[in-house]
Amino acid sequence: MINLLPTPAYVINKNRLYNNMLIFKHIMDATGVKILLSQKAFSSYYLYPFLSDYLIGTSASGLYEAKLGYEEMYGREVHVYSPAYTAKDLNILIDICDYITFNTPEQWLRFKPVVEKNKNINYGIRINPEYSEIKRPIYNPCMPHSRLGTTLTMLENSFDLLFSNKDNVNISGILFHTMDEQGADTLNRTLDVIENKFKDILRKIRWINFGGGHLITSSKYNISTLINIINNFKSKYNIQVYLEPGMAVALNSGYLLCSVLDIFENGMKIAIVDTSVACHMPNILEASFNPKIINAGFLNEKKYNYRIGGVSCLAGDVIGDYSFDHELRVGDRLILEDMIIYSIVKNNTFNGIPLPSIAIEDENGISVVKKFNYEDYKRRQ
């Protein structure tokens, strides 16, 4: 079946997704935590009906993601947080969302006349505990002068206006997002800081969102520690806990299939494939890593070495240096592992390069659910 697929193609394995969902179900059953699909990492809505059997709903970073969650995972919760809203977007969001989280007290107070139109929504504020163990500055929301979230100092002058009256339209919960695909031990240390800084708030709210960055479905993740953390926190404060893991939802659940177009030598053998880091896997450039290729090793691990390059004009459009047991030939297919997360949601048509097809793999085989053509490219210009 794989040899019949068009390339390039993202192939999502439904059975692997199911295995991840079973892990989430175990955690939810053991703690009562509610887990959301973070659409900024994975938003292949063909699978939303399947995911809705396990996840409580979706989280969004703006209007379009919120609409997608509302339309395609209909009947489940819709959560949204944005660094800034417009009145136009908020007037739509208050009709489709269950939870709307604001970035600052200033914006919440500015839009109070808008949100008062729907008093049934749970409104929140994102806090910045000014503590994070993220090493890469590009991913660290708690860096100095961060634009993401409200520090304790920023909150102090607005405390009564935000939390004084739960019967009217006031803040009923908080969200923090300070992790980047890290373990439960990092969450534990983060919560110690939050409890120390925001203890007065924790006793006034009804819900808290621990955000994303929890690599729950990794084999190295300590699930029992997470369960203990959530249960201890809930027993202490008696509030509903949410998680919105991004990468963990579809971790190891799919691959990017591509074909070799050309092979030549320039100091080493170079193979050009019909995909592109710049267009189809921009997270590789952003996070600076080399994906694994099935049946390949990295440089010098096997007999034949190749630099695998993309098809765009960007000089740095290089997947990486790999080695193989046999010489590559034009037409060979390569499988880049774990290329579903932060790829489909970030891809682009730089150079007019077509977007990869999207296929679903299950016990019945592989079926293409979406193809892209010139008109898709043209509509974006």
Residue pair 159/174 in contact (Cβ under 8 Å)? The answer is no
pTM over 0.85: yes
Render pLDDT for 242-277 as a digit per residue (tens, 0 to 9). 999 999 999 999 999 999 999 999 999 999 999 999
pLDDT at res. 119: 81
Res. 67 pLDDT band, cuts 50 70 90:
very high
pLDDT at res. 287: 84
Residue pair 289/282 in contact (Cβ under 8 Å)? The answer is no
Helix (H) / strand (E) containing 64 = helix 63-72
Partnered with residue 323 across adjacent β-strands are: 297, 305
Render pLDDT for 282-321 as a digit per residue (tens, 0 to 9). 999 988 889 999 999 999 999 999 999 999 999 999 999 9
Res. 16 pLDDT band, cuts 50 70 90:
very high
- What domains sit in the chain, N to C, each tagged with a CATH number? 2-10+254-339+347-379 (2.40.37.10), 32-243 (3.20.20.10)
Pairing type for strands 254-265 and 9-13 reads antiparallel
Render pLDDT for 154-179 as a digit per residue (tens, 0 to 9). 888 777 777 765 546 688 999 999 99
pLDDT at res. 162: 78
Dist CA 21 CA 226 (whole Å): 16
Res. 92 pLDDT band, cuts 50 70 90:
very high
Render pLDDT for 114-147 as a digit per residue (tens, 0 to 9). 988 888 899 999 999 999 999 888 999 999 999 9
Residue pair 304/269 in contact (Cβ under 8 Å)? The answer is yes
* Percentage of the chain modeled with pLDDT above 70: 98
Residue pair 162/125 in contact (Cβ under 8 Å)? The answer is yes
Dist CA 299 CA 256 (whole Å): 20
Q: Count Cβ atoms within 10 A of the Cβ of residue 361 and give its class: 0-12 exposed, 13-18 middle, 19 or more buried.
A: buried
Q: What is the mean pLDDT of the chain?
A: 94
